[in-house]
Amino acid sequence: MENIQQTILSQYANSPALCTIIDAWNQCIDPGSLIDRWYNLVWNVQTAQGYGLDVWGRIVGVSRVLTISSTDYLGWREANDLTEVGFNQAPWYSGKAATTNYRLSDSGFRQLIYAKALANISDCSVTSLNAVAMTLFSGQGDVYVKDNGDMTMTYVFDFVPTDVQVSIIQNSGVLPRPAGVSVSYSIKGSS
């Protein structure tokens, strides 16, 4: 603690034995380093790790463990998700999806937390939806929201999302949508 001598009653302030004991306790119990570690590992979302990020995930409403849809199915462009591909590229959908659980790393989970926090305070304008998408997929390629003008919108990806990213897009609830608006997804960069 700081200024430990100010906490000792004046009648005991000149006792060398008592002051030595109090100084030794102060060095052992000094909460300064513990408070700094707690702040950096739990409270500060920019530096939080492990348990601290799990706490932030509960606060904003996302989970570190995602269910990954590990199989693509035969589909057409007008479908609303990202698991469909053309003929001779994938099997027919049998009614049951093969899924696995995937635990996000601290850096990936931090990015998901930032995106969900933005989504929680979003006004669902195209500008704010683009900010959420660009935060979530920074460094991956271009991603933007297209307002189709008929109460529908499309998240357009100029890159091919990984299986983990597809699960974030479809299962995590991070990408917001305005009330009453239908959402679809499009991949332009699938060359």
Q: Give one DSSP letter per residue of 127-178, joined into a string.
A: HHHHHHHHHHTTTT--EEEEE-SSSEEEEEESS---HHHHHHHHHS--S---
Residue 77 has pLDDT above 70, yes or no: no
Looking at residue 75, its pLDDT comes to: 58
Q: Tens of pLDDT along 115-137?
A: 888 888 888 888 888 888 888 88
Q: Tens of pLDDT along 12-65?
A: 788 888 888 888 887 787 777 888 999 999 999 999 999 999 999 999 998 888
Mean pLDDT estimate for the chain:
80
Q: Tens of pLDDT along 132-190?
A: 888 888 888 888 999 888 999 998 988 888 777 787 787 777 888 888 888 888 887 65
- Domain spans of the chain, in order of start: 14-43, 60-187
> Considering the entire predicted model, what is its pTM?
0.64
